Amino acid sequence: MTAVALILPGGGYREHAPHEADPVAIWFRELGFDAKVLRYPLTRHPGPLDAVRERVAALRASGATLVLLIGFSAGGHAAGLAALQSSGLSEQVDGVVLGYPVVSFVDRPHIASEQALLGRGRPESTRREVSLEALVTPMSPPFFLFHSLDDEKVPATHSLELSRALAAVGVEHELHLYSGGGHGGGLDHNSGAWRAPCRDWLVRSRLMPTSETSS
pLDDT in the model for residue 1: 60
User: Which of 123, 183, 117 has its CA nearest to residue 150?
Assistant: 183
Beta bridge partners of 145: 98, 175
Residue-number span of the structural domain to which 152 is assigned: 3-214
Domain with residue 124: its CATH number is: 3.40.50.1820
64 phi, psi to nearest 5 deg = -65, 125
Rounded distance, CA 31 to CA 210, Å? 9
* pLDDT, tens digit only, all 215 positions of the chain: 699 999 999 999 999 999 999 999 999 999 999 999 999 999 999 999 999 999 999 999 999 999 999 999 999 999 999 999 988 889 999 999 999 999 999 999 999 999 999 999 899 999 999 999 999 999 999 999 999 999 999 999 999 999 999 999 999 999 999 999 999 999 999 989 999 999 999 999 999 986 444 33
Number of domains in the chain: 1
Q: Label each residue of the chain as H, E or C.
A: CCEEEEEECCCCCCCCCHHHCHHHHHHHHHCCCEEEECCCCCCCCCHHHHHHHHHHHHHHHCCCCEEEEEEECHHHHHHHHHHHCCCCHHHCCCEEEEECCCCCCCCCCCHHHHHHHHCCCCCHHHHHHCCHHHCCCCCCCCEEEEEECCCCCCCCHHHHHHHHHHHHCCCCEEEEEECCCCCCCHHHHHHHCCHHHHHHHHHHCCCCCCHHHHC
Rounded distance, CA 213 to CA 31, Å? 13
Rounded distance, CA 161 to CA 164, Å? 5
